Amino acid sequence: MAVAQNAKYPNPKEVVVNDLVFARMSTWTFKAGKREEGFLELDNLLNSLTRHAEGFRGYMSLLPKEEPNTVLVLTLWQDEESRQASEKGVFAQTTLKIQKYLEKPPASKNYRVFSTELFQRIERAHIQDT
């Protein structure tokens, strides 16, 4: 991302749009009682199909407490071309392979990601055990 020198937070006017990551947020609605089984299959497919997908940058799966048959999946892509290609590859293949678990086809929306910040905290007790 092109940002001002030594700036902690980029000035939106200085961000080069071509440097932004692209994302797809898909909503997967499973048949009643099939979310866990369907999600395990979905997660396995994403792990294997995205591993070698051109431009793939990562994904995050969210399981809403309020919607027990729903899973949200956010996939991140290096550029718009990679995201679009994944619709015909990763997304289409995954949908086809878990179709038997789905209540309806997944809905998706596409985004440009302006910024992200993720942390993984390791507890001291865990460090002492290793």
Higher local confidence (pLDDT), 126 or 61: 61
Examine residue 6 and state whether it is found in any structural domain, yes or no: no
Higher local confidence (pLDDT), 95 or 19: 95
**Which residue segment(s) compose the domain that 47 sits in?**
20-113
Query: Whole-prediction pTM value?
Result: 0.76
For residues 41-52, give the mean pLDDT.
93
Examine residue 124 and state whether it is found in any structural domain, yes or no: no
Examine residue 30 and state whether it is found in any structural domain, yes or no: yes
Position 123 scores a pLDDT of 67
Position 101 scores a pLDDT of 98
Fill in the DSSP letter of residue 31.
P
Quote the CA–CA distance of 53 and 38 in Å, as a whole number.
22
Looking at the structure of the chain, the number of domains it has is 1
Q: Domain of 58: which CATH number?
A: 3.30.70.100
Which residues touch 28 (CB under 8 Å, ≥6 apart)? 38, 39, 42, 70, 71, 72, 73, 98, 102, 106
CA 53 to chain centre: 13
Residue 3 — very low, low, confident or very high, per pLDDT cuts 50/70/90?
very low
Quote the CA–CA distance of 40 and 35 in Å, as a whole number.
8
For residues 2-22, give the mean pLDDT.
53
Q: Where are the beta strands (DSSP E) in the chain?
A: 21-29, 56-62, 70-77, 107-113
On the question of pLDDT at 20 being above 70, the answer is: yes
User: Residue 68: helix, strand or coil by DSSP?
Assistant: coil
For residues 83-101, give the mean pLDDT.
94
- 10 burial (CB, 10 Å; 0-12 / 13-18 / 19+) is middle
